[in-house]
Structure 1
Amino acid sequence: MGHPVRIAPSILSADFAKLGEEVRAVDEAGADWIHIDVMDGHFVPNLTIGAGVVKSLRPHTQKPFDVHLMISPVDPFLEGFAEAGADTITVHPEAGPHVHRTVQRIKALGCRAGISLNPATPAKTLDYLLEDIDLVLVMSVNPGFGGQSFIESQLRKIEAIRTRIDKLGKPIDLEVDGGIDADTAPRAIAAGADALVAGTATFRGGPERYAANIAALRGEA
């Protein structure tokens, strides 16, 4: 792996009444990226935020915005999130009819392109996409809600994708999202992950705990 492990706190678990303060707090606590979960109540059974909220958060940190779009159809919304300040836009292969075209559009908008795989979506889905993307996000829970338990079978998928990335020889981030805490983080890392999304595990205990929570995810505590 070419990177130290990056920690991307998911603001899905933050206090939505003071999102700007929460973003600043996890930035100061050592977050590498800010993970933003966008859900439409259609592709996944929950409804979160839109591009307007992302734009309002952009002045609160210089850290990269890691935007995960769990919406379908996804293509009509790419430009809005790029303009709102997304650095990486990650989409699901199932969220549109032509995912390669979606990736091309994300790149044309000046963002890094990511592909997210649901627990039942196989690694082979990446066969004709991997060389064109910058990030793979393995969902280790079914998307739609925070606070779920890690699905063990996803460790094999992480291992398989790590092998594919290393064989390709291109710097592609391998991120894992779902049930990540101080116990599951080292197992995901051992399987090949080099970026971890953590919502509940980061925001537990309030701002005074964020730095210790992030350190624990890195294996430093």
Structure 2
Amino acid sequence: MGIIELDAYVLFVSGKDRFTFLDGLSTNKVDGTCSTVLTTTKAKIIDVVDVIEVGDNIAVVGHGPYKENVLNHLQPRILQQDVTIRDISSINNVYVSTHPVKERDGLTITKSYLGYVVVTSIKQPLEPTLDEAEFTDYRVANLIPFQGHEITPKVHPYNCGLTHLVHESKGCYIGQEILTRMRSRGKMGKQLVRVAPDSDDATSIGSEFALAIRRISSINESSI
């Protein structure tokens, strides 16, 4: 379909403990480039981020309005670890592409749960080709959650279609005990489904269908 610019932050994480630090604070196995979820002790979402390996450093890309909560979550937990976090949001633009992007100088590209995340210097912006309505249609068609809509501090990853970002055999991390218990008991609560656009509980409304978070035991909307 195309490319859209996001309201996003970029944090630059350095130090020899950078991977173990992020691995202990998020749901996916962080030993390289990946998407992962930062969760509270109650397994509620702080943000969904893309971790991008950049040489001997890591870029952490997330939703702009959630940046302060993320920093407040990360910084006090550095303690004695060899980790430094710098906010480089002001010198970078972040985009999502619905299709693979050709690599070239000045672009950092990674496969993401959203599609393809592209980070550029503010001096080398890309030309967006998608508007918000088209991006919503793309997300609805592919059951992709987004911050401020399906991804909020009120839900856990299983609620909003992010089960694939919760590593089943990973060791201890914040929120892990609750998520493991939910999975082992088969009680993962409400889930992300596709529904009619006039649904009262729609979280993202496209031109033909919408997304909602519902208990699916008594509905068939997920097959729409």
> The TM-score by the shorter chain falls in which range?
under 0.3
Query: Which is richer in helix?
Result: 1
Query: Which is richer in strand?
Result: 2
TM-score by length of structure 2 reads 0.28
TM-score by length of structure 1 reads 0.28
